[in-house]
């Protein structure tokens, strides 16, 4: 943790805060364009390509149009909360960026001031991000409630249940990172990844985090709070104009926030990726900002890719997955990491021995998974002779089922198949 | 000090609002404001970990559950004022007064005496100091609290658990049952008809019209029917149109005078 945090002059802090805000808003405009172009490519379309170079100014035009639309407040709405909700959703999304490191210490051009490319650092930086994002959920839930509409209420409900569930799994994956880094501060975690990025030793935690972050940001395939097939627009059904734009902004900033957190925790933060890292100057000056934004963009691409590929999950399946698979897996992984760390420090095992043990365990697990499962005894139902007029209504046979006319022709084959099944 | 004098009025006002607000959701929201302000005062007093945990646990999880329940139940201004537990108000008064005395004593001690040792406690960083205390001196208390909380969670689950008495019907059995019912009673096995969505009334409270011009009761939700908010008066629509098309046609009186309820070949759902 740099000594400069908390002792910088006020204008440096203000400049950094404003820069973060500007970067995030511009990044959001870029991401909207990026998403539309990438999804279009995946669907063999062109996407926005008219306004500005490559259609880059399309989001700007759309934003202006959105802001100029009529602002509607429904009669059934609870007015104070209705106006407050989009603000509550947006502000925490930006606040989380106070502790995200963009790069190492740099010299501000035209001055002699040296400053880290991070607004501030907290000893509990990552937990702070978790706390702030949990306030952002209020915006969505309150929007759902205050709209006075059933669709919006259901959307708000879903989103609160979903975010609470997936936040648990997300928080548990942080624990293993804290154990490896020995700190909860984002700057210290990036520092600890000098030798190896954490996604290699902590791969399961990385996978769980990536799944949980998609659930946390309400993005496809987990975009149940705004499932347009069931809930029209979900929590933002009744919102229009700038209030809707704020929700839109919050969603995209949240997407970038969780991506940036994933980069910071697992992908070495602002450190240069593998081939470039051999160049000595890669981790100095303003270059790290580029690596950082590049890695973040890779995650954004993942989000878009998922959206272009996967259908939306059913709500009960989604909850079952979160509570019965993701959280137990995250818990088991956390316990495993704790045991390994304890063994490492007490018995002073080196990495090689650990890797051999891990490989042995993996081989054993693989062998166990190869043992064929004993077949269940639910085949009895198929033995019932097929009746084309079951219940007095004609039904076609299920695929692979023998009808009575077939049966007279192929008595032998049926006989052999039944005997083989009995074995 | 600046933080305190900024936040204290907000907190007092919000706390008053919790008690005085008419809507339960507003009370819950103001309580969240108190909690967040409290968290910020923790942070300003050199307890960043407590700040984050306060927000995550209380504001993020517990208050969210409160809100969730409030929204689900839909508690509004009209709450029953009947005491369900006898002597509840008396007990609340006693406990409240005791708590008030306790708070005054503790705050008085804090104001009169000067608290020392913050620098020592946070020597290795706030998180280390907290962890060292929690896992050495107070480890027993922590374990007991954990056991209590887990017991409470398991207890809640046991109380809310409902045994499944009959096996769940699979999708296949369900469709077989539907066809069986169709064969026996003639009840349509497919989904219910959609409401009448046409040029004039694009809404779910408008019943669909059957070929003879009578409205289909199945096409509107039972809830809307029970509330009495279903649009009526479409019985003559088909006949009217037919009359306009061909005034001499004798069949154009269909559905005009005696509207039939329900659909053809379809039994009404109760």
For the segment A98-137, what is each residue's pLDDT rounded down to a tens digit?
888 887 877 777 777 777 778 888 888 888 888 888 888 8
Q: Is the pLDDT of residue A198 over 90?
A: no
In degrees to the nearest 10, what's the CA dihedral of A213, A215, A220, A221? 120
Q: Are A337 and A249 in contact (CB under 8 A)?
A: no
For residue A137, the chain B residues in CB contact (below 8 A) are 60, 64
Q: Are A137 and B24 in contact (CB under 8 A)?
A: no
Looking at the complex, does the CB of residue A137 fall below 8 Å from at least one CB of chain B?
yes
What average pLDDT score do residues B30-44 get? 87
CATH code, domain with B5: 1.20.120.1200
Looking at the complex, does the CB of residue A12 fall below 8 Å from at least one CB of chain B?
no
Q: Are B218 and B260 in contact (CB under 8 A)?
A: no
ipTM of the complex as predicted: 0.71
Q: Return the top range by mean pLDDT from A289-298, A349-358, B212-221.
A: A289-298
CB B265: neighbour CB atoms within 10 A?
8
Give the residue from B37, B57, B76 where a domain finishes.
B76
- A193-219: buried (b, 16+ CB within 10 Å) or exposed (e) per residue? beeebbbebbebbbbbbbbbbbbbbbb
pLDDT band at A305 (very low <50, low <70, confident <90, very high): very high
Residue B169 lies in a domain: no
> Of A162-176, A409-423, B54-68, B245-259, where does mean pLDDT reach its minimum?
A409-423
Residue B35 lies in a domain: yes
Check A81 against B29: CB less than 8 A apart. Answer: yes
Residue B239 lies in a domain: no
Looking at the complex, does the CB of residue B126 fall below 8 Å from at least one CB of chain A?
yes
The whole-model pTM stands at 0.74
- Cα distance between residue A94 and residue A17, in whole Å: 10
User: What pLDDT does residue A386 have?
Assistant: 67
| pLDDT tens-digit readout, B130-155 | 888 888 889 999 999 999 999 999 99
- Which among B39, B37, B20, B26 has a CA at the least distance from the CA of B67? B26
Residue B144 lies in a domain: yes
pLDDT band at B255 (very low <50, low <70, confident <90, very high): very low
Looking at the complex, does the CB of residue A399 fall below 8 Å from at least one CB of chain B?
no
Map A107-151 to HEC letters: ECCCCCCEEEECCCCCCCHHHHHHHHHHHHHHHHHHHHHHCCCHH
Q: Domain limits at B217?
A: 192-233
Q: Is the pLDDT of residue A145 over 80?
A: yes
User: Total domain count for chain B?
Assistant: 3
Give the residue from B104, B133, B155 where a domain finishes.
B155
Question: Are B139 and B203 part of one and the same domain?
Answer: no
User: What pLDDT does residue B146 have?
Assistant: 92
> Of A168-177, B9-18, B198-207, where does mean pLDDT reach its minimum?
B198-207
Q: Which helix (H) or strand (E) holds A167?
A: helix A150-181
For residue A338, the chain B residues in CB contact (below 8 A) are none
User: What pLDDT does residue B224 have?
Assistant: 80
Q: Is the pLDDT of residue B125 over 90?
A: no
Q: Is the pLDDT of residue A372 over 90?
A: no
Looking at the complex, does the CB of residue B135 fall below 8 Å from at least one CB of chain A?
no
- Which among A183, A213, A166, A176 has a CA at the least distance from the CA of A198? A176
Distance (Å) from the alpha carbon of B71 to chain A's nearest alpha carbon: 7
Residue B67 lies in a domain: yes
Going by DSSP bridges, is the β-strand pair B208-209/A114-117 parallel, antiparallel, or unpaired?
unpaired
pLDDT band at A421 (very low <50, low <70, confident <90, very high): very low
């Amino acid at each position: 943790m740099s000594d400069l945090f908390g002792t910088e002059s006020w204008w440096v802090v203000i400049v950094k805060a404003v820069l973060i805000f500007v970067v995030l808003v511009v990044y959001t405009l870029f991401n909207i364009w990026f998403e539309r172009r990438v999804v279009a490519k995946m669907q063999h379309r062109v996407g926005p390509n008219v306004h500005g170079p490559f259609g880059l100014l399309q989001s700007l035009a759309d934003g202006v149009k959105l802001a100029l639309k009529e602002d509607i407040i429904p009669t059934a709405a609870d007015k104070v909360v209705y106006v407050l909700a989009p603000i509550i959703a947006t502000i925490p999304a930006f606040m989380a960026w106070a502790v995200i490191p963009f790069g190492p210490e740099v010299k501000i051009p035209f001055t002699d001031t040296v400053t880290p490319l991070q607004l501030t650092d907290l000893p509990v930086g990552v937990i702070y991000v978790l706390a702030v994002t949990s306030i952002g959920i209020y915006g969505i839930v309150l929007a759902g409630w205050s709209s006075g509409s059933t669709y919006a209420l259901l959307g708000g409900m879903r989103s609160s249940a979903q975010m609470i569930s997936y936040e648990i799994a997300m928080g548990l994956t942080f624990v293993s990172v804290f154990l490896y880094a020995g700190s909860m501060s984002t700057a210290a975690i990036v520092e600890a990844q000098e030798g190896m990025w954490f996604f290699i030793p902590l791969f399961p935690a990385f996978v769980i985090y990536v799944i949980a972050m998609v659930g946390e940001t309400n993005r496809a395939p987990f975009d149940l709070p705004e499932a347009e097939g069931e809930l029209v627009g979900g929590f933002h059904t009744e919102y229009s104009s700038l209030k809707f734009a704020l929700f839109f902004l919050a969603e995209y900033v949240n997407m970038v926030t969780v991506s940036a957190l994933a980069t910071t925790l697992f992908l070495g933060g602002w450190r240069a990726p593998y081939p470039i890292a051999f160049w000595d100057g890669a981790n100095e000056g303003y270059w790290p900002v580029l690596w950082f934004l590049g890695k973040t963009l890779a995650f954004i691409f993942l989000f878009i890719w998922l959206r272009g590929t996967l259908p939306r999950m059913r709500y009960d399946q989604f909850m079952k997955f979160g509570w019965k698979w993701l959280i137990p897996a995250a818990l088991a992984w956390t316990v495993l990491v704790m045991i390994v760390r304890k063994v490492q420090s007490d018995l002073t095992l080196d990495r090689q021995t650990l890797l051999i043990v891990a490989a042995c365990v993996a081989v054993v697990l693989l062998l166990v998974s190869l043992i064929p499962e004993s077949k269940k005894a639910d085949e009895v139902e198929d033995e019932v002779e097929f009746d084309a007029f079951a219940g007095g209504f004609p039904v076609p046979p299920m695929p692979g089922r023998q009808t009575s006319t077939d049966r007279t022709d192929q008595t032998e084959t049926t006989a052999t198949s039944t005997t083989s099944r009995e074995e | 000090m600046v933080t305190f004098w900024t936040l204290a009025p907000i907190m007092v006002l919000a706390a008053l609002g919790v008690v005085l607000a008419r809507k339960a959701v507003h009370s819950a929201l103001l309580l969240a404001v108190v909690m967040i302000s409290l968290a910020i005062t923790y942070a300003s007093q050199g307890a960043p970990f407590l700040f984050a945990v306060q927000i995550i646990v209380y504001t993020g999880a517990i208050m969210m559950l409160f809100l969730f329940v409030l929204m689900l139940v839909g508690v509004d201004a009209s709450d029953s004022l009947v005491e369900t537990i006898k002597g509840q108000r008396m007990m609340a008064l006693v406990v409240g007064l005791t708590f008030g005395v306790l708070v005054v004593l503790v705050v008085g001690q804090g104001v009169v005496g000067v608290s020392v040792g913050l620098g020592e406690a946070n020597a290795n960083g706030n998180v280390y100091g907290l962890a060292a205390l929690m896992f050495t001196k107070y480890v027993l208390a922590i374990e007991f609290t954990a056991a209590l909380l887990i017991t409470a969670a398991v207890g809640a689950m046991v109380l809310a658990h409902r045994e499944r008495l009959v096996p769940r019907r699979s999708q296949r059995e369900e469709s077989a049952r539907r066809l069986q019912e169709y064969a026996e009673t003639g009840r349509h096995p497919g989904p219910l008809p959609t409401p009448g969505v046409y040029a004039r009334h694009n809404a779910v409270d408008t019943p669909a019209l059957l070929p003879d011009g009578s409205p289909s009761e199945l096409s509107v939700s039972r809830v809307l029917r029970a509330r009495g908010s279903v649009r009526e008066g479409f019985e003559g629509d088909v006949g009217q149109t037919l009359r306009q098309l061909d005034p001499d046609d004798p069949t154009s009186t269909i559905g005009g005078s005696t509207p039939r309820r329900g659909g053809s070949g379809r039994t009404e759902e109760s």
